Amino acid sequence: MTIDQVLSRLQNGNARFVDDKLDGKLQNSARRGELTSGQEPYAIVLSCADSRVVPELAFDTGLGELFVVRVAGNVANTSSIASIEYAVAHIGTPVIVVMGHESCGAVTAALQGGDNGYNLNHLVAQIVPAIAKCPDGVSVNEVVKENARLSAAQLKERSSIIRNAVEAGKVKIVPAYYNLHTGKVDLLD
């Protein structure tokens, strides 16, 4: 599939999800059997670990269609970047979606500040640049969108594998925003 075909497929799947008309295809034992010899996902999704945000459902996909990397705040850290590099370099997946979501708890924690312990402090520190780019008094959801944009930029800045694939026209990175109330995914590109 071309990059445009992948984006169209994701948007069509999300429209089905929003309309409660899921296909539910490619989710059975036959599909599991087909995938035992390898995978060829057409999109990578860097998403928050929030239990309310399930990329496979939001895009109405089946087994083997998405390569999903989940971490609170959908931050581009060393491990999430390495996972995405694998899919770009070894699987040839052409689209990366960096998906933030409405009312993100990690972004809220970053906005509130304070001591959340060593590990969580490290994670929310990666969201602080998004806060700095937003005007004072901006909503958590505007910071979520800026964080998705910055995480998308970080993928190129911190990975020569991803940057080279983007510059060669083999990969497109798209920041996105998931609306909890409707299930709609807004592409921010």
Burial of 108 from C-beta contacts in 10 A (0-12 / 13-18 / 19+): middle
Band of residue 128 on the pLDDT scale cut at 50, 70, 90: very high
Counting every residue written for the chain, the total comes to 189
How confident is the model at residue 27, as a pLDDT?
86
Band of residue 173 on the pLDDT scale cut at 50, 70, 90: very high
How confident is the model at residue 183, as a pLDDT?
98
Locus of tokens 């998308």:
152
Phi and psi, residue 108, nearest 5°: -60, -45
Band of residue 136 on the pLDDT scale cut at 50, 70, 90: confident
Arithmetic mean of pLDDT, 81-94: 97
- Is pLDDT at 14 greater than 90 in this prediction? yes
Locus of tokens 């060829």:
40
Left, alpha or beta for 117 (phi > 0: left; psi -120 to 50: alpha)? left
Measured CA angle at 56 (ends 127, 128), to 5 deg: 0
- Is pLDDT at 24 greater than 90 in this prediction? no
- Chain centroid, CA 1 distance in Å: 19
Is the full-model pTM beyond 0.85? yes
Locus of tokens 């998403």:
47
Q: Do the Cβ atoms of 49 and 71 come closer than 8 Å?
A: yes
Band of residue 137 on the pLDDT scale cut at 50, 70, 90: confident
Please give the Cα distance from 1 to 7 (Å, whole number): 10
User: 166 is written with which tokens?
Assistant: 């983007």
Burial of 51 from C-beta contacts in 10 A (0-12 / 13-18 / 19+): exposed
Q: Which domains does the chain carry?
A: 3-187 (3.40.1050.10)
- Is pLDDT at 180 greater than 80 in this prediction? yes
How confident is the model at residue 79, as a pLDDT?
96
* pLDDT tens digit sequence for 31-58: 999 899 999 999 999 999 999 999 999 9
Arithmetic mean of pLDDT, 72-81: 97
- Is pLDDT at 82 greater than 90 in this prediction? yes
How confident is the model at residue 3, as a pLDDT?
97
Band of residue 26 on the pLDDT scale cut at 50, 70, 90: confident
Task: Tell me whether strands 185-187 and 95-101 are parallel, antiparallel or unpaired.
Answer: unpaired
The average confidence (pLDDT) of the chain is 96
